[in-house]
């Protein structure tokens, strides 16, 4: 299966959000990646449920919603109602992770778990069977445009080994600092989904940049 490209709307032009959605619809991108930040779990505030509801009205591709918030279990149904197809919660913010993943699936969404750069992938082992997607942060979460953390490659290889050994089809998503210069190596290490924000939306031709990432 070809790798999945998920442009991160955090880096888009919010004053022209409908236009940005139409660009993604008409591009080789596979998913929308939507970062929800609460200013508590991460030191930034992005957008929330009303903005995602607006995007859902224009999006023609799945919404991959990444919750960088405390107590994510409180909002599972709310994000389902505004069109989330994949809902990812942070392992560091989820006291009862197994229950939260089950609740996401009961709402008919795919369930994802995100890890901060310092968090070991071995902590995923007890819940890996319940996890459709692992979002591996390759920058410290909270802001776009950061430099890729090189230690990510080792973590991807380790996680790929765990998934394959368990006979699962859990996808590995890389979020942060993804560019054309590291995309191939990430895929070779075992990544399935590449999230690209600034690299896409700050490009002279975002549509071509997405196509180039897809062809890597």
CATH of 4-215, picked from 3.20.20.70, 3.40.50.300, 3.40.50.970, 2.70.160.11, is 3.20.20.70
Quick one: 56 exposed, middle or buried, by C-beta within 10 A (0-12, 13-18, 19+)? middle
Cα–Cα dist 136/175, whole Å: 6
User: Is residue 101 predicted with pLDDT exceeding 70?
Assistant: yes
Helices (H), the chain: 17-25, 49-58, 76-81, 97-106, 152-165, 183-189, 198-201, 206-215
Structure confidence at residue 141 as a pLDDT band (50, 70, 90): confident
- Confidence (pTM): 0.96
* CB-based contact 163:171 (threshold 8 Å): no
User: Is residue 146 predicted with pLDDT exceeding 80?
Assistant: no
Q: Average pLDDT, stretch 152-168?
A: 98
Tokens describing residue 205? 């031709």
Tell me: the pLDDT tens digits for 35-76?
A: 999 999 999 999 999 999 999 999 999 999 999 999 999 999
pLDDT given at position 145: 65
Cα–Cα dist 93/167, whole Å: 27
Catalytic residues: 35, 175
């Amino acid at each position: 299966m070809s790798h999945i490209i998920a442009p991160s709307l955090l880096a888009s032009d919010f004053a022209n959000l409908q236009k940005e959605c139409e660009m993604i619809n008409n591009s080789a991108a596979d998913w929308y990646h939507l970062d929800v930040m609460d200013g508590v779990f991460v030191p930034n505030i992005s957008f929330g449920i009303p903005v995602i509801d607006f995007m859902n009205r224009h999006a023609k591709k799945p919404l991959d919603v990444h919750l960088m918030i405390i107590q994510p279990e409180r909002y599972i149904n709310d994000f389902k109602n505004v069109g989330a197809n994949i809902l990812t919660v942070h392992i560091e913010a989820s006291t009862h992770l197994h229950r939260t993943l089950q609740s996401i699936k009961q709402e008919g969404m795919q369930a994802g778990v995100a890890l901060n750069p310092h968090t070991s992938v071995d902590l995923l082992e007890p819940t890996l069977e319940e996890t459709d997607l692992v979002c591996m942060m390759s920058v410290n979460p909270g802001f776009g445009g950061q430099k890729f953390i090189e230690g990510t490659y080792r973590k991807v290889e380790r996680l790929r080994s765990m998934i394959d050994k368990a006979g699962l089809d859990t996808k590995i998503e890389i979020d942060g600092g993804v560019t054309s210069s590291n995309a191939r190596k990430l895929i070779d290490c075992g990544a399935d989904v590449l999230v690209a924000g600034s690299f896409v939306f700050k490009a002279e031709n975002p549509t071509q940049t997405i196509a180039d990432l897809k062809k890597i």
